[in-house]
Chains A and B, each alone.
Chain A
Amino acid sequence: MEQYSDKELLELFRNSDNGNYAFNLLVNKYQRQVYWHVRRIIIDHDDSNDVVQNTFIKVWHNLEKFREDSQLFTWLYKIATNESINFLKHKRTKFFIPIVNVEKHLCDSLKDDPYFNGDFIQRKLQQAILKLPEKQRIVFNMKYFKGIKYEDMSKILGTSVGALKASYHIAVKKIEKYLTGD
C-alpha cells in the first residue's frame, strides 16, 4: 500500500469525495503506533483494543476540525493518551479499585496475560514501571521505548519540557532502584 504523508492524507480526506478511503489509510498508517502506546498504559490486550477503537472513532469524528496547528501524530497520541487515562479512571470507579491497588491489579493481569511473553527480567521491568505514578509511567514509556522527543511529548501531555525531563529522570532512578532490589 502506498504510504502517504500526513499532509497528503489530510488533503485527501478533505478534498476527496471518498473520505472513508483516506481515513482507512490513516488508520493503517498509525494503528500500530497508537496500539503500542495504549497497550503500555492499559497492559491488557482486550482493553487496549477497546481504547484504540475509541481513539480512532474520536479521530474520525474530529478529523475535519483538525487545523494542523500540531502534527497529526502528536494529535493522535494526545487523543490516545486521554482515552487511556479515562479508561483507567473509569475502570477504577466501575470496579471500586482503590488508587493504590491499580498497579497491583495491572501486575496481576500481566502474570496471566497470554499476550505477554517477556522473561523474568522483562516482567520485573514491567512491574517496576507499573509502580510509577500514572503520568510518570506514560513519560517513561514514551521516552524509553519510543524515544519520542520531549518537545513532542510536551504537546501530547500538555506539560513543560523541563517537567518532562525531571519526570523521566525520577522514573529512571526509581526503576533502577527497583531492579537492584534496594
Chain B
Amino acid sequence: MEINDDIQNDKLKESAPNLFSMKKENSFNVPDGYFENLSNEISEKCFQSNNKKPAPIINNTLQKILIPVAIAATIIIIILIFFKENMNEINTTTQYVYIDINSMSEYLENLIDNNELDESLIVSELINDDTIKSDLQKHQANICKTTNPVIIKDSLNNNTITKDDIIQYLLENDESDDLLN
C-alpha cells in the first residue's frame, strides 16, 4: 500500500476532523498488468532513444557561447537601424530649419541676376498657381469696387497681368509670406 502512516495524525485531527475521519485510500487504479509491462516499455524506449540519439551539430559549450553572441548581435543591429533612421530624421529637420525665406529669396535673386534663371518663368508659374490666381482676382475685384473697376475688369477679361500688377499686389497684400511659406 502506497499510503505511508508517517503522518502527524494528532495535528490533523485537531485542525481538520472531517479530513482525519476519511479513509486514506487510493481511489485511482490502473489497467490490468500495467506495472508488469511498464518497465519493459520504458527500457525499450530508453535503449531506442539512446541508439537514435543524433550527434549534436554544435556542442554544448559552443552553443552556450553562440546563443548570447547571436542575441547581442541582433540587439546591436536593431539599435543601429533605429539610430540610423533617427539620424536621417534629424538631418532632414535641420535642413528645414536653416533654409529660411530670405535665403531662398537671395538665392533666387542671385540666379536671376546671373541670368541663370528666367524671371518670367517664376511670374508665369505664380500666375498659373490657382491659389495665387484666386487671391489676385479677389484683390482686383476689391479694387474694382473701390477705385477703378473698369480697368481691372478689362485686365481680368484680357487675362493679361503685368509684372507691375504682381509687384503691386504683393506689396499691398501682407499675406505674401504666408503664401510662400
Chain A residues within 8 Å of B, Cβ to Cβ: 20, 23-24, 27-28, 31-33, 35-36, 39-40, 45, 49, 52-53, 56-57, 60-61, 115-119, 121-123, 125-126, 143-149, 169, 172-173, 175-176, 179-180
CB 8 Å contact bits of B1-36 with A (1 = contact, 0 = none): 011111100001001111100101111111100110
Minimum Cβ distance to chain A for residue B42 (Å) = 5
Q: Is the CB of B18 within 8 A of A31?
A: no
Please provide the 8 A-B residue pairs with the shortest distance between their CB atoms, ordered closest to farther: A118-B27, A147-B4, A176-B16, A147-B6, A60-B46, A122-B27, A27-B39, A179-B18
Minimum Cβ distance to chain B for residue A141 (Å) = 11
Q: Is the CB of B4 within 8 A of A146?
A: yes
Cα A35 to Cα B6 with chains together (Å): 20
Residues of B in contact, count (CB < 8 Å): 33
| Chain B residues with CB under 8 A of A35 | 30, 35, 38
In the complex, the chain B residue whose C-beta lies closest to that of A172 is B16
Q: B43 in the interface, Cβ–Cβ < 8 Å?
A: yes
Minimum Cβ distance to chain B for residue A123 (Å) = 8
Q: Is the CB of B7 within 8 A of A57?
A: no
Q: Is the CB of A175 within 8 A of B38?
A: no
Q: Is the CB of B43 within 8 A of A24?
A: yes
Which of these, A49, A117, A172, contacts B29 with CB under 8 Å? A117
Cα A56 to Cα B47 with chains together (Å): 11
In the complex, the chain A residue whose C-beta lies closest to that of B42 is A56
| Chain B residues with CB under 8 A of A53 | 41-42, 45
Q: Is the CB of A24 within 8 A of B4?
A: no
Which of these, A20, A31, A36, A60, contacts B2 with CB under 8 Å? A36
| Chain B residues with CB under 8 A of A39 | 28
Q: Is the CB of B39 within 8 A of A31?
A: yes
Cα A149 to Cα B6 with chains together (Å): 8
Q: B128 in the interface, Cβ–Cβ < 8 Å?
A: no
Minimum Cβ distance to chain B for residue A160 (Å) = 18
| Given A36-B2, A122-B25, A145-B26: A179 in contact with B19 (beta carbons within 8 A) | yes
Which of these, A45, A56, A143, A172, contacts B46 with CB under 8 Å? A56
| Chain B residues with CB under 8 A of A125 | 19, 22
| Chain B residues with CB under 8 A of A45 | 28, 30-31
Minimum Cβ distance to chain A for residue B74 (Å) = 25
Q: B120 in the interface, Cβ–Cβ < 8 Å?
A: no
Q: Is the CB of B47 within 8 A of A20?
A: yes
Q: B181 in the interface, Cβ–Cβ < 8 Å?
A: no
Minimum Cβ distance to chain B for residue A12 (Å) = 15
